[in-house]
Structure 1
Amino acid sequence: MENKKTLILGATPNPTRYAYLAAERLTNRNHDIVPVGIKKGELFGQEIEQQLENKSLPIHTDIDTITLYVGVRNQPEWYNYILQTKPKRIIFNPGTENPELMKKARAEGIEVEVACTLVMLNTGQY
């Protein structure tokens, strides 16, 4: 199975959240993860990268997939970061579907999937 380096946008150290479960399952299936979000903490050996007032986030240029766990109303502040990362695809998990961001991503040649990362992993579609 190919390692698909995955940026988890909306990462959290809270084990009851879907973003945490996705990080756990991706790690268990030997996919490298880059957790990014507003919560401080660590996920499976990776520090959660946070946007700080005086410092912008590093742009990762080797990302296969961004899996979104940020609600639509909080996504616009992440548009530039997402598009500059230039992932091969973005997975819009349930509740994150955003036609505006999907259109911007497609215009940049980024594949868009409206799906659940957890289901994709469990069914071998990841």
Structure 2
Amino acid sequence: MWAGQSKWSKDSEPMGEINVTPLVDVMLVLLIIFMVTAPLLTQGVNVDLPDAESPAMQQNVEPLVVTIRADGAIFMQKLPIDIKQLAPRIKAMREQKPGLPVFIRGDAKTPYGRVAEVMSLLESAGIRKVGLVTEPHR
């Protein structure tokens, strides 16, 4: 058996503390990553929503969002779509997920006729309930 001395002397005992500097460095990097990516998680196309007083809705399901820009361009989620393709695409999506909620995000400067046209197409696709997305009064 080996009966040698340990490599630690009484004056230089091992440190009993954890070095937290690397942990803090990693946490700061993660914080910066989340701060940069959080604004990118907004849903849909950037539009100036009209102001209205309404309570916030609690949803467990990711809704289908149809966005109408001020120039009349239509987007489904974030992808542009021709108005002729809107009803068939939504009908196909609703066949896959029957309870899928549908929301319309219309720019405040969108002509009312364009919003009514989209709502009419949604009704022809079998959508009876449509939510209109607004912003709270500032």
TM-score by length of structure 2 reads 0.33
Q: Which has the higher contact order (CA 8 A, sep 6+)?
A: 2
TM-score by length of structure 1 reads 0.35
Larger radius of gyration: 2
